[in-house]
Amino acid sequence: MRWEVWLAYFAACWVIAISPGSGAVLSMSHGLSYGLKKTTTTIMGLQLGLVIILLIAGGGLGALLLASEEAFVVVKTIGAAYLIYLGIQQWRAKVESQGDGEGDAEGAPGRVRVAVMSRRRRFATGLLTNVTNPKGIIFMVAVLPQFIDPTHPLGPQLAILAATMCGVDLVVMHGYALLASRMQGLFRNARAVRWQNRFFGGVLVAVGTALFFVRRHPA
Q: Read off the pLDDT of each residue in 153-177 and give the average, rounded to a whole number.
A: 92
Cα-based angle 198, 124, 128 (whole degrees, multiple of 5)? 75
Question: In this predicted model, what pLDDT tens digit does every residue of 51-69 receive, in sequence order?
Answer: 998 888 777 665 666 666 7
Percent of the chain scoring above 90 in pLDDT? 25
CA distance 176 to 84: 21
Higher pLDDT residue, 183 or 163? 163
Higher-pLDDT residue of 113 and 117 is 117
pTM, to two decimals? 0.74
pLDDT tens profile 2-38: 888 899 989 988 988 888 788 898 999 899 888 899 9
Mean pLDDT of 161-169: 93
Alpha helices in the chain (DSSP H): 3-18, 22-34, 36-58, 61-67, 69-91, 119-131, 134-143, 154-181, 190-211
Residue extents of the structural domains in the chain: 3-13+21-211
